[in-house]
Structure 1
Amino acid sequence: MASSPFSSAVPPLEKRYDVFLSFRGEDTHNQFASYLYAALYDKQILCFMDHKLERGDEISPTLRKTIDESSISVIIFSENYATSTWCLDEVVQILEAKKRNGQIVMPIFYGIDPSSVRRQEGCYKVAFAALEQRFKDRMEKVHQWRAALTEAANLCGLDSKNFR
């Protein structure tokens, strides 16, 4: 079969999930994230919620693939989100999927001002001071996380003050 000049060399990525939820479990799992997941499920929207995965310092290749195979990523920024390197790595991966695959990314600010996330102020400033100490030999990683938070917080999103 001859290839068309319009065919892509790389086949489009098959989407396994409609929505990927990124959240800090201790802040939102038994509250907002669970309610959002249930509401999406009730509307027959296939949603991935990573609350059952084994945690480590970095996200797994399987989770990276899951992010890539989602049409939309919802990032629920909360007070302790930036204390989790796992969450920060998810944001980086989500933004890479946005660039590569055109994934839709929607931030939700749960009990946190968007400017605190964007500028890493308040509790995010404290979290990054700790990260800078912990990763003093890998500061490029910290800079990558800072840039990802700023980029994600600049996207159109929702402030959950209206949901509480």
Structure 2
Amino acid sequence: MAEKMINVVASSSGSASKVFPKKYDVFLSFRGEDTRRNFTCHLYEALMQKKIKTYIDEQLEKGDQIALALTKAIEDSCISIVIFSDNYASSKWCLGELFKILECKKEKGQIVIPVFYNIDPSHVRKQIGSYKQAFAKLEGEPECKQMERCSY
């Protein structure tokens, strides 16, 4: 599975970077506590071994304004891989990244690859289970109101 995904990214990033020169081939969006030390770090290493320039939030420089740095990294990427995990939707940061990723998909044609890590894709699509709980908890917050107005 991971090897197939890497091959897709490698072939996509090669052609996409010629048309749209970007700083990164891939931006990884993930919930750190769920996947950072297992799936995500293995995916990151595999992409780097294939010489695919990949952004992961550990590349933030001390003193960087996190929101601005992440926004710039998303905009400077040809492909975003969104790793949906059980707690992804409970993070305002993750939802903010996802909002920006979908904005770049819509406006700039960025390729978005969803990965479902230990979660049924229907939980994300239908917003049930942990996703239902997370959205209910976040409902009414100002950041989420802006996201609700956008349809992708």
Residue 87 of structure 2 corresponds to 80
Equivalent position of 1:116 in the other structure: 123
Q: Which residue number corresponds to residue 154 of structure 1?
A: none
Tell me the distance in 2 between the aligned counterparts of 1:82 and 1:62: 21
TM-score (structure 2 length as normaliser): 0.77
Q: Give deviations 1:90-142, integer Å, cap 9, x for gaps.
A: 01100111112111100000011111011110011111111126x1x666236
* Count of aligned pairs: 131
Letter of the structure 2 residue corresponding to residue 140 of structure 1: K
Corresponding residue for residue 143 of structure 1: 148
Percent of pairs with identical residues? 52
Structure 1 residue 22: Cα displacement: 0.1
For residue 60 of structure 1, give the secondary structure of its aligned residue in structure 2: helix
Greater share of residues in helix: 2
Q: Residue in 2 aligned with 1:68?
A: 75
What is the CA–CA distance in structure 1 between the aligned matches of 2:66 and 2:128, rounded to whole Å? 25
Instruction: Trace 1:9-158 onto structure 2 (pairs within 5 A).
Output: 14-51=21-58, 53=60, 60-132=67-139, 135=141, 140-141=145-146, 143=148, 151=152
| Partner residue, 1:161 | none
Spell out, residue by residue over 1:2-54, the C-alpha distance to the aligned partner (whole angstroms, 9 max, x if none): xxxxxxxxxx8640000000000000000000000000011111000013549
TM-score, normalised by the number of residues in structure 1: 0.72
Can you give the 5+ residue segments of structure 1 that lack an aligned partner in the other structure? Answer: 1-11, 152-164
Root mean square deviation of aligned Cα: 2.3
Structure-2 separation of matches of 1:71 and 1:29: 22
Gaps of 5+ in 2: 1-18
Q: Which structure is larger by alpha-carbon Rg, 1 or 2? A: 1
